[in-house]
Amino acid sequence: MREVYVKRALVPTRLGAAEYAVNPYAGCGHCCAYCYAPYVTRDPDFCAVRVRRNLPSVLDRELRRARMGRILVGTVTDAYQEAEDRCRVTRLALEVIAKRGFPATILTKSALFVRDADLIARIPGAEVGVTVTSLEGWEEYEGGSDPAERIEALKSLPGGVIRYLFLGPILKGRTERDLREIMDLAADAGISYVLVDRLRLKEGMREKLMATALKDAVDAPLSYYRDVAMRAARMGRERGMRVEALF
């Protein structure tokens, strides 16, 4: 892990209902087998984390003159990966976002956000979501906290913070096996909505995934993903949660 310095912190995004993205780290120590970020960023050392040490100060300067809009924190990295426990770049960035009054959405595979619950509560329209693909065997292909612990950690957030679940990518043979339990845990944690996504293969990913524990999930047809999403939507309705498929 090494430190790098950036000239720009705030970048436009087309993801979700947001205008900006902020990534406190380059690369990601989770190194999930199904992640397409290395292919999008064309970063050959994606699993080698680089700490963007000056990002909070650059972000502060940019937000002073930026149009108001929602900020996604962690789009091609996990803002609460293990490095954050020591480096605290995400916390410093969130302090800037809170000070400037911008709404923000965080998505993570870690329960470390609990540390910053008080700070997140000061961000207007704050949303915190956790990514879950399955509840068992996840260590074979992804990093982060135990998935059930990720969901449980959402309970620590103050009532004004919106909680959500990112169910994806759907992994054949795994996600549907644990779907009912995942949705039960989500409802118990007070999650407002669930986003469901399929496995998205970028050029070169298929060959690498065929050599992993996810080889059986690689060639799932679109009809399979739609069926799982429909089941999730039905379970969501039964538990009072809105469910949206992203495909």
| Residue 176 Cα distances to 132, 169, 183, 220, 228, angstroms | 12, 11, 11, 13, 7
**How many other CB atoms are found less than 10 A from the CB of residue 210?**
12
- pTM value? 0.96
- Checking DSSP bridges between strand 127-132 and strand 162-167, what pairing results, if any? parallel
* Confidence at 16, pLDDT banded by 50, 70, 90: confident
21-74 pLDDT, tens digit per residue, is 999 999 999 999 999 999 999 999 999 999 999 999 999 999 999 999 999 999
Please report which helix (H) or strand (E) contains residue 106, including its range.
Answer: strand 104-108
CA 19/CA 144 separation, integer angstroms = 27
Would you say residue 207 has pLDDT above 90?
yes
DSSP state of 104: E
Which domains, from first to last, does the chain contain? 2-245 (3.20.20.70)
The residue with tokens 């999650």 is 191
**DSSP per-residue codes, 50-102:** EEETTHHHHHHHHHHHSPP--EEE-SSS-TTSHHHHHH-HHHHHHHHHHHHT-
pLDDT in tens, 122-167: 999 999 999 999 999 999 999 999 999 999 999 999 999 999 999 9
